[in-house]
Amino acid sequence: MERLIVDARPDFGKRLESQGLSFHGWDNYWKEDACYSFTLEQVEEIEAATELLYHMCIAAMQFAIDNNRLGQLGIPQNFWGAIAESFAQNEFSLYGRFDLAYDGVNPPKLLEYNADTPTSLLESAVCQWYWMKDVYRDQDQFNSLHEKLVDRWKLLPGDEPIYVASISQNEEDWVCATYVCETITQAGRTAKHIYIEDIGWHSDANQFVDANGNAIVNLFKLYPWEWLMREEFGQYIVQSNTRFIEPIWKSVLSCKGLLAILWELYPGHPNLLAAYFEPGRLDAYAKKPLYSREGANVELINNGKVIARDDGPYGAEGFIYQALCTLPSFDNRYPVIGSWIVGNESAGMCIREDVSPITTNMSNFVPHFFKV
Amino acid sequence: MKSSKYVPLLVIGSVIALTGCEPDQEREVKQQTYNSLNDCKQDWSEDQCTPNSTFTSASGTYIGPRYYWDRGINRPIAIANDGTRTQLSNSHITSEYEGTGRSFTAGSVRTGGFGATAEGFSGGG
């Protein structure tokens, strides 16, 4: 694994915009004057670890249900039954992203699993692929994300339209949602975008509906379960006939409390970091809210001293304490591997790097390739 | 926090079509759901009754057209999903229809019940 300094394509901004990545220039989000290279063996190590971690997460999920641990994960009790049923039925799931610390030498370590609403999808599946075709056309990339997403949609039962919901007034989410629509369309299904605020509840039909009163049978929502459950319409979720994607059982996997349960089940596993619900068991640790996004409210603490922190609105549901993993530094940058999984198959990776050891929504997206 | 609001069913989707003709008047748009085709045919002609296949919780039921009552001509006006309107001359619906025990109004849709938590933050991560 190396970080290389390379020439950016002279017209890269125009190319990215033509691919739909309208916000590439915000805080220099897309960064292609550097890239990461890997060997095939390293890519295969990440791929194998990703699929192994997924199966471990599924086992942890079953353990949490069987041992009445959902409350400890901050999940309201009125959803426990629906979660157990959804999981037992193996309700359709599209994708997820494991965030891994990796230096090319030691085994990848799971930092967290974004099982519910991972973004960076367009840039991972499309933009970095075309970058590689332009810059390293004789090399390869760990990236089958687009094909796997399209194939996965083909497995969704029924033929009703698939609504894709994102919040209004957020371009990053809109871009991601639009790309999801594209994958749905390429799978031969009808996709309809809807803002999450515009979803209606039809009290007589007992159904979520769109602005025209049409029933929403399938709803891909780029909106986290912990928010849906606690908002006004959360009370209707269980009784509705809407199929949510990601399904409600993914709400358990997207909780960072899962990291503590994984450590409980697999202590000492080479792809895990020690993690606990209780404070005081680690000297150097990351304090993470059970639910947070993009590094918000994460604190890194070493021997009682805060060495990094990121503010935010999260933490009401509690925290977990994960052993501090010093990210590898390449040219004074800290990369985090985002390893995608579609269904239960590893599907490629992306890299976000930052000058801070906490990866946030301000971190740069840096493309990669591996040598053939 | 965003407050939720009650809105008549079709105003959400058809406000442009409605206000194009009478910009200062918002009409009450209705749609009825029936327990059977026979029930539906008491208010509408058979070709105006549609199996209620979209609402899977109400399978086997029928819905009439979406409509509002035009007091000028004393007839219901049907509204298609694209907002186009058609005068209905072969219905039995009346202007006083309130919905009875054999059917219920489908006119209550609320929005704004999702989305309040985001407050500018991305829903993704």
Say which range, A202-211, A253-262, A361-370, B64-73, has the weakest mean pLDDT.
B64-73
CA B23 from centre of chain? 19
Q: What is the pLDDT of residue B29?
A: 65
| Whether A173 contacts chain B with CB within 8 A | yes
- Beta carbons of B67 and B27 less than 8 angstroms apart: no
Mean pLDDT of chain B: 63
- Cα distance between residue A110 and residue A261, in whole Å: 13
Q: What is the pLDDT of residue A317?
A: 81
Nearest residue in chain A measured CA to CA from B112: A197
Extract the tokens encoding B116.
């309040």
Say which range, A28-32, A138-142, B95-99, has the weakest mean pLDDT.
B95-99
Give residue ranges of B with CB < 8 Å to any A CB. Answer: 2, 4, 9-10, 12-13, 31, 33, 52, 54-58, 66, 81, 104-106, 108-125
- Residues in chain B within 8 Å Cβ distance of A201: 109-111, 113
pLDDT band at A67 (very low <50, low <70, confident <90, very high): very high
| Residue A291 dihedral angles phi and psi, to the nearest 5° | -130, 120
pLDDT band at A166 (very low <50, low <70, confident <90, very high): very high
What is the mean pLDDT of the segment spanning B102-125? 74
Q: What is the pLDDT of residue B91?
A: 79
ipTM for the predicted complex: 0.91
- Cα distance between residue B83 and residue B98, in whole Å: 23
Does residue B11 register a pLDDT over 80?
A: no
The C-alpha of A15 sits at a distance from chain B's nearest C-alpha, in angstroms, of 24
What is the mean pLDDT of the segment spanning A361-371? 91
Looking at chain A, how many residues does it have? 372
Question: Is A227 within 8 Å of B113 when comparing Cβ atoms?
Answer: no
- Out of A198, A212, A223, name the one closest to residue B81 (CB): A212
Does residue B1 register a pLDDT over 50?
A: no
The C-alpha of B89 sits at a distance from chain A's nearest C-alpha, in angstroms, of 24
What is the mean pLDDT of the segment spanning A237-243? 95
* SS3 assignment for chain A: CEEEECCCCCCHHHHHHHCCCCCCCHHHCECCCEEEEECHHHHHHHHHHHHHHHHHHHHHHHHHHHCCCCHHHCCCHHHHHHHHHHHHCCCCCCEEEEEEECCCCCCCEEEEEECCCCCCHHHHHHHHHHHHHHHCCCCECCECHHHHHHHHHCCCCCCCCEEEEECCCCHHHHHHHHHHHHHHHHCCCCEEEEEHHHCEEECCCCEEECCCCCECCEEEECCCHHHHHHCHHHHHCCCCCCEEECCCCHHHHCCCHHHHHHHHHCCCCCCCCCEECCCCCCCEEEEEECCCCCCCCCEEEECCEEEEECCCCCCCCCEEEEECCCCCCECCEEEEEEEEEECCEEEEEEEEEECCCCCCCCCEEECEEECC
| pLDDT tens for each residue of A247-266 | 999 999 999 999 999 999 99
pLDDT band at B28 (very low <50, low <70, confident <90, very high): low
Does residue B124 register a pLDDT over 90?
A: no
Q: Which of A86, A64, A83, A120 is nearest to A351 (CA)?
A: A120
Percent of chain A scoring above 90 in pLDDT:
87
Question: Is B55 within 8 Å of A313 when comparing Cβ atoms?
Answer: no
Say which range, A20-34, A47-61, B63-77, has the weakest mean pLDDT.
B63-77
Q: What is the pLDDT of residue B100?
A: 38
Q: How many CB atoms lie within 10 A of CB B115?
A: 26
Q: What is the pLDDT of residue B101?
A: 31
Mean pLDDT of chain A: 94
Nearest residue in chain A measured CA to CA from B124: A117
Q: Which of B41, B14, B63 is nearest to A205 (CA)?
A: B63
Whether the pTM exceeds 0.90: the reply is no
Q: What is the pLDDT of residue A360?
A: 67
The C-alpha of A123 sits at a distance from chain B's nearest C-alpha, in angstroms, of 14
What is the mean pLDDT of the segment spanning B9-16? 25
What is the mean pLDDT of the segment spanning B92-104? 53
What is the mean pLDDT of the segment spanning A75-90? 97
What is the mean pLDDT of the segment spanning A171-190? 95
Q: What is the pLDDT of residue B59?
A: 55
- Out of A198, A223, A230, name the one closest to residue B123 (CB): A223
| pLDDT tens for each residue of B40-76 | 888 888 888 887 655 434 456 777 888 877 877 888 8
Question: Is B54 within 8 Å of A166 when comparing Cβ atoms?
Answer: no
| Residue A86 dihedral angles phi and psi, to the nearest 5° | -60, -40
Percent of chain A scoring above 70 in pLDDT:
99
